[in-house]
Amino acid sequence: MEKENKMKKLAIGLSIVACILLIALVVIWLNRNNLISDLNKEKSDLTTEFVSLQNDYSTLTTNNDSLNVQLDIEREKVEQLIERIQKTDATNRSKIRQYERELGTLRTIMKGYIVQIDSLNTLNVALRKEANIAHEAAQESKKQYEELRTTTDEYAKKVEIGSIIKGRGAVLVGINSSNKETNRSSRISKLRTCLSLVENTIAAKGPKTVYIRVKGPDGILMTDDQQHIFSVDGEEMIYSASREVDYQGDEVEVCIYFSNSQKFIKGVYTVDVYTSEAKICSADLLLR
């Protein structure tokens, strides 16, 4: 009888252990499925961003054959990356992060092409306008006067363009509450943009205000509680933050901080840097 009771107790104990193991396996299985679901959504969102980038590239057109070849190469890169993402398992986190970095790089490259295309279009319009002016002036004025006028106009334009201060080496980083750099969106308290104003001996000396326009992953311009407006070559624009520096013609480094009243989210942030004369440089930052 005693032996039978021991057997019953042993069977009950084994049953309890089996139930605990079953519950643990169910919890592990549910957690695994939730994780896989989140990873698949992250992969799907990344694919959608690449498809959007592919559509943006398809809208870029130009009459410049050399630039068209470069655009075709970039379009091919985007198409290949979309195919590779679709073939990559969502649980391969390192590959997914690599594709995210490549997405930021391709976006930056595309912005460069947009600037080139806009410059070419502007140049073509300007050249056509100058041709019409020159033709009308040739009919009304003597050849010698027209040549002198053309030479003077071109020289003045070169001086004006050459006197514009340019920027380089723009870098956008996230700063936490301890004033340390981080790319974790949950830890960021502000963004810092640093760049160099290039040496220019013919530029105007004295106080120079540098403005930044920060855009979030949704493409919307970010500002603080107040709306700040500045003028770029006669056009009014809203800016996120600014800083005044004493420019004396030598290269000078400028850092501008922007604090957001709302929390920073994951995605690619873009900053465009301006003076009152022109846009001088841009930079991107991918927050995780």
Q: Tell me the pLDDT band of 34, cut-offs 50, 70 and 90.
A: very low
145, 172: one domain: no
Residue 31 lies in a domain: no
The residue segments making up the domain with residue 275 are: 167-287
Give the residue carrying structure tokens 């500045």.
Answer: 230
- Say if 179 falls within a structural domain: yes
Whether residue 277 sits in one domain with residue 171 = yes
| pLDDT attached to residue 33 | 47
Please check the confidence at residue 169 and state whether its pLDDT lies above 70: yes
How large is the average pLDDT for residues 208-222? 94
Residue 240 pLDDT > 60, yes or no? yes
Nearest to 205 by CA among 247, 159, 250: 247
For the cut 80, the answer to whether the pLDDT of residue 162 exceeds it is no
> Is residue 218 included in any domain, yes or no?
yes
Residues 191 and 255: beta-carbon distance below 8 Å: no
Domain-located, residue 182: yes
Average pLDDT of 46-72?
Answer: 77
Please tell me which of 27-31, 34-38, 206-210 the model is most confident about, judged by mean pLDDT: 206-210
Residue 188 scores a pLDDT above 70? yes
Whether residue 268 has pLDDT greater than 80: yes
Name the pLDDT band for 230 (thresholds 50, 70, 90): very high
- Please give the pLDDT value at position 174: 95
Tell me how far apart the alpha carbons of residues 4 and 23 are, in angstroms, rounded to a whole number. Answer: 29
Contact 266, 217 (CB under 8 A): yes
156 and 172, same domain (yes or no): no
Could you tell me if 146 and 124 lie in one domain?
A: yes
Let me know whether 172 and 270 are in one domain.
Answer: yes
Q: Are 180 and 244 members of one domain?
A: yes
Provide the mean pLDDT of the chain: 79
CATH of the domain at 260: 2.60.40.10
Same domain, 212 and 257: yes
158 and 171 both lie in a single domain: no
Q: Are residues 192 and 131 in the same domain?
A: no
Cβ-Cβ contacts under 8 Å for 244 (sequence gap 6 or more): 207, 208, 209, 210
Q: Which of 73-87, 111-125, 166-180, 220-234 has the lowest mean pLDDT?
A: 111-125
Number of domains in the chain: 2
- Residue 161: band (very low, low, confident or very high) from pLDDT cuts 50, 70, 90: low
